[in-house]
Amino acid sequence: MAVSSERPAGAVTPRAGIDAPHGGCFVVGTDTGVGKTLVACALIHAMRRAGLSPVPFKPVASGCEESPDGLINDDTRRLIAASGRMLSQDEVSPYRYLPAIAPHVAAAEAGRPIQMDSLISHAAALAQQGPLVVEGAGGLLVPLDGRYTLADLAVALGLPMVLVVGMRLGCLNHALLTAEAITSRGLVLAGWVANRIDPDFERAAANIDTLLARLPAPLLGTVPWGPSPDPAAIRLSLPALH
Ligand SMILES: Nc1ncnc2c1ncn2[C@@H]1O[C@H](COP(=O)(O)OP(=O)(O)OP(=O)(O)O)[C@@H](O)[C@H]1O
Ligand SMILES: [Mg+2]
């Protein structure tokens, strides 16, 4: 499938996307380390409670451990565990790299560039099995190679987006920028999650109110800060999956 990252200024690309008969969602964060994996796992649990059989997809995973079976990524492991499916690391995360560094740098160092077409066909195959729950890497405009970013992959997949906002100082700007980058590409922002990653963040409620007033999508839930959060215990509303 041909992918283009070129858009005329001000134009909104129509949403096309892969054939995903069960729908799904693409979980993107305001930054790295804001709780995308936690929220993606919580959404997988919520879907399973609703009788669905979600399939996780973590297209690019940098930061792995070596094992006799190859590179093991912890996000990928957590996503597979939440799904309850017998899936391999290769099936869920086709591009895994050892160091926890920017994906395009890891890919270049490993001599294994990220192929967009391959990621898209991989996602399309997984999407035949159930609702696809995609976890992005870092934030939305993280580069995947010399040309594309994660946003280009999101456009190619065409799934509704779920924005995880790491509630800390600076999150309003990060959340609003990310929402604008989503909607300006013709993607649907299906919901957002307020994740209380910083227990010392002052005026968190006022910040959540600000985002409630300004983000063009429903709040799916607020995740409290906790020493070891359990995704199965988090209660989130399900976003629209189509
Ligand atoms: N609500 C919370 N309370 C306490 N700790 C949290 C909370 N949410 C996330 N964390 C912790 O913050 C860390 C980052 O969370 P998580 O791995 O889900 O983020 P991420 O956005 O997926 O990161 P990455 O960009 O590396 O994929 C984890 O150690 C996680 O347990
Ligand atoms: Mg993660």
For the chain, list the domains and their CATH numbers.
Answer: 24-57+116-233 (3.40.50.300)
On the question of pLDDT at 25 being above 50, the answer is yes
Query: What is the Cα–Cα distance from 51 to 58, expressed in whole angstroms?
Result: 22
The 10s digit of each residue's pLDDT in 114-142 is 999 999 999 999 999 999 999 999 999 99
Which atom of ligand 1 approaches the CA of 224 most closely? Answer: 1
Task: Tell me the β-bridge partners of 149.
Answer: 143
**CA torsion, points 29, 33, 36, 42, in degrees to nearest 10?**
-140
Catalytic residue among 36, 45, 58, 104: 58
- Give 56's pLDDT tier (boundaries 50, 70, 90): very high
144 lines ligand 1 (CB under 6 A): no
Quote the longest CA-to-CA distance of the chain: 50
On the question of pLDDT at 193 being above 80, the answer is yes
CA of 34 to the centre of ligand 2 (A): 8
Percentage of the chain beyond pLDDT 70 is 94
Are 22 and 164 in contact by the 8 Å Cβ rule? The answer is no
Neighbours of 17 (CB within 10 A): 20
32 lines ligand 1 (CB under 6 A): yes
* pLDDT, mean over the chain: 95
CA of 4 to the centre of ligand 1 (A): 32
Return the structure tokens found at 238: 């399900």
Averaged pLDDT, 5-23: 69
Tell me if residue 36 is catalytic.
no
On the question of pLDDT at 10 being above 50, the answer is no
What pLDDT score does 16 carry?
78
- The pocket of ion ligand 2, defined by CB under 5 A, consists of 36-37, 75
Q: Which amino acid is at 217?
A: A
User: Whose Cα sits closest to atom 25 in ligand 1?
Assistant: 32
Query: What is the Cα–Cα distance from 60 to 11, expressed in whole angstroms?
Result: 28
Query: What is the Cα–Cα distance from 23 to 131, expressed in whole angstroms?
Result: 5
User: Whose Cα sits closest to atom 1 in ligand 1?
Assistant: 225
